[in-house]
Structure 1
């Protein structure tokens, strides 16, 4: 058994003069304070990778910088799924009695500390070095290919995809730390600059500076406990050229195993935090996870199903699409927001019921998946 006992999150956007270590440190201290712990009580650290500061021993570099001496340290890298993969590993470590309090942390100054070309080059390396990278595709290009196929198979339109960007922006408007605070419409998304058709600028998450952290402990450290009820992973491929059929991607495998581990059904979910690097990512994952039928996720958005006051509120901080995306820390913000919702501390974003939450992370081009259920206990 393990519990998320504290969370920390910086604003996302532009942090001039802050290094990746600075942003990680700020988020880490917020999480430790939130858990009611001292730095000296942290005996494990899990650190997400960084493209801005790609040190081969980033976890211990951060531990030294932050002033802790953990008995267990590890760096993890499975793309956008890294945050939840680290949470799953922390859960297993405390359950096994290896450590008592694990600090999970990541952050990058990708917006101010890395050039546009360097960022594009670094992320494009998820492609096959012989069959894909030499042809010059970018991450948006890979997802554009996926989007075209998905739209063809399930009758999804560009207007449908735009609905997800509009919803995420609507949610971001109420969070002071979000990168974007200007409302947008479906028409705005449709009129935005083409990036990798059918994906346009507002279908894509931004590049951000920011940091996120949380503490995973063997026991609750406050009155309301947020327990890891069950989790699972799936890794079906790395490269687009080796990907299985759209109906056989890893999200379906991971969620099936997570439901079995947690002993819950999708109908039990009251809050959802789902990876949203692109609008097509969110549309596909919601359907793969069983939160909507094939081709019908956009209709559920339009009906208000995933709104703050809907049946299953989704990414109430604005997600990657509007809160921002600073690498591994981007998706970790989803868990921070979930914890705030589950402990009744989300302020004007607070939903009616977040007693059972589903989180899902996606790494690569729908390559690596982690599904997780969190449960509120007293």
Structure 2
């Protein structure tokens, strides 16, 4: 589709404008109390479990005593909702507000609602249902220097024992990728191997305590901020023979440094001006093997809309969306994977990129279907000759053959 660029009243992406206001307002916890009353019980019991504000996501139990808001002031974690009805990483602040129906459950409208609630020019006209509760928690979202130093030390302790995936000791990592049908080569970038990291998990009997589940070989990938700094690590815990570790949370991230918002893992970097974006290290590597082009991945689908793409480095972006099931009793009639990936596509198009949106076709609406790694492996796409032919083949498995939106000069 050909469409002329439209000038925005904002001088930067809306997400960045909103985040600056949120920081000034004291963090997302105070935004919750400003915008909605759905999280009041969780706010006044910060870090402790209360009834889930989304009982429709649960069965007969309705989520009684299953939900809590994170008390952490980690950038990206402060205000994160944790519940049995959510993925292991929980839901970020914006995702929680959207699930609550703020802005009609639409990403951009949700941000605009927050903007109106915090902007000095409009905040006095914003009214929520009742008086906001007093939030006992982080007074602001700026980490103190001591906490930054502690987190940097933890990341440095991991980094000092990392080796490349072709190192003799990294055999478990090579086996892991081989078992998935996506062989490694030297193009892989910020993905390394650690011979043994401890895996801690929440105690089932004492929620405030951690228990050590074991020490496992680990694939460690680096999140880089907009300016290229390593601001966090993503970990995949595996076994010596390349299987997933026998733990509930196989994939985890560390406590991030400032600058984590908008960061991504660089899977591969090539000379071209096309960037492929998806979620998940393994899927990102499979997509690079198909295309031979630069690839970055987000931590999860909910962080996709904020991924930074440098306009000076890339002209075109191909977004590889999951096709998640539509959750029952939800106003939004699309799964999380495709919804947040499309929000990224919309944002990048307004920023002047040519955008191609690739979503697997033919998945059932009420169940998790194949993602792009599944398609690539199961259809033998890597056995085909030439990246152009492989990409065109994948388009036959994409909804509408892939959706392309091209920016042109006015």
- Per the normalisation by structure 2, the TM-score is 0.30
> Which structure shows the bigger proportion of residues in helix conformation?
1
- Per the normalisation by structure 1, the TM-score is 0.32
Larger RCO (CA under 8 A, 6+ residues apart)? 1
**Whose radius of gyration is greater, 1 or 2?**
2
